[in-house]
Amino acid sequence: MTRGALVPSRFAPVLTSLAAIVAAMILGGVFLAMRGKDPLAAYGMLFSRGLGTSYGITETLIRMAPLLIVSAGLLISLRAGVWNIGIDGQLMVGALFAGVVASAVAGQIANPLMWLAAALAGMGGGLLWALVPAILRVRWGLNEIITTLMMNYVALNVTSWLVKGPVKDPNVVPPQTRLIPQEMRLPDIAGSGVHIGLLVGLVVVLLVSVLFRNTVVGFMLDILGRNRQAAIHAGMPVNRLTLVALLASGALAGLAGANDILGVKGLFQGNWNPGYGFAAFALVYLARLHSLWIIPFAYFLSFLAIGGEMMARPLGIPTYFVEMLEGLMLLCFAVATYFERIRSPFGRAEEIETGPATAGEPPGPLVGDPVFEPVARSAGGRP
Partner 1 sequence: MANPHPPAPLSRRAGRGGNEEPIDRGPIIAMRDISKRFGPALANDHISLDLWPGEVHAVLGENGAGKTTLMNVLAGMYQPDAGTIRIAGEEVQIASPADALRRGIGTVYQHFTLVPNLSIVENVVLGDEGGFLPDLSAADAKLTAMLADFGLDVSPRTEIRNLALGQRQRVEIIKVLLRGSRVLVLDEPTSVLTPGEVTALLDLLRHLRDQGVAVVLITHKLGEALAVSDRVTILRNGRNVGEFGPDVMTGAAKESVRDRIVEQMFGATQPTETRHHGAQQSIDVSPGVAIKHPGHSEPAGEESRHSRTDAAFSRDSSFLGMTTSLRRSPSRAESGTTLLSLRGISTLGDRGAPALQDLSLDLHRGEVFGIAGVDGNGQKELGEVIAGQRAVSSGQIFLDGAEITNRGLGTATRLGIGYVTDDRLHEGSVAASSVTDNVALKAIGRQPFSNGFWLNRRAMDEEARRLIVEFGVKTPGPETAIGMLSGGNIQKLLLARELALAPKLLVCNKPTTGLDLRTARFVVQTLREQADAGKVVVLISSELDELMEISDRIGVMYNGQLVAVMPRGETDLETLGNLMLGGARRAFKVPA
Kind and range of the H or E element at 228? helix 228-233
Is 350 an interacting residue with respect to partner 1 (CB under 8 A)?
A: yes
Cβ distance to partner 1 smaller for residue 168 or 240: 240
CA 355 to chain centre: 15
User: Is 235 one of the binding residues for ligand ATP (CB under 6 A)?
Assistant: no
Residue 171 main-chain phi, psi, to 5 deg: -85, -10
- The site string for partner 1 over 234-253 (x = CB under 8 A, - otherwise) reads xxxx----------------
Closest separation in Å from C-beta 347 to ligand ATP? 5
**Smallest distance, Å, CB 4 to ligand ATP?**
11
Candidates 196, 223, 262, 287: give the one binding partner 1 (CB under 8 A).
Answer: 223
What is the maximal distance between C-alpha atoms in the chain? 71
CB count within 10 Å of CB 7 equals: 11
Check if the beta carbon of residue 33 is closer than 8 Å to that of residue 321: no
- Contact segment (CB under 8 A) with partner 1 among 251-259, 318-326, 331-339, 374-382 equals 374-382
> Total residues contacting partner 1 (rule CB under 8 A)?
44
Site for ligand ATP in 330-349 (CB under 6 A): 345-347
Q: Scanning residues 110 to 149, which ones bind ligand ATP (CB under 6 A)?
A: none
Comparison of 213 and 343: residue with beta carbon closer to ligand ATP: 343
352 binds partner 1 (CB under 8 A): yes
Q: Which residue's CB atom is positioned nearest to ligand ATP?
A: 345
Number of CB atoms found within 10 A of residue 5's CB: 8
- Cα–Cα dist 260/360, whole Å: 33
Of 5 and 34, nearer to ligand ATP (C-beta) is: 5
Nearer to partner 1, 203 or 376 (CB): 376
Among residues 233, 320, 362, 363, which is the contact residue for partner 1, using CB under 8 A? 233
One-character DSSP codes across 108-174: TB-HHHHHHHHHHHHHHHHHHHHHHHHHHHHHH---HHHHHHHHHHHHHHHHHHHHHTTT--TTSSS
At closest approach, how far in Å is the CB of 342 from partner 1?
Answer: 8
Buried b (16+ CB within 10 A) or exposed e, 277-289: bebbbbbbbbbbb
Is residue 371 near partner 1 by the rule CB under 8 A? no
Phi-psi region of 287 (alpha: psi -120 to 50; beta: other; left: phi over 0): alpha
Q: Which residues bind ligand ATP (CB under 6 A)?
A: 345-347
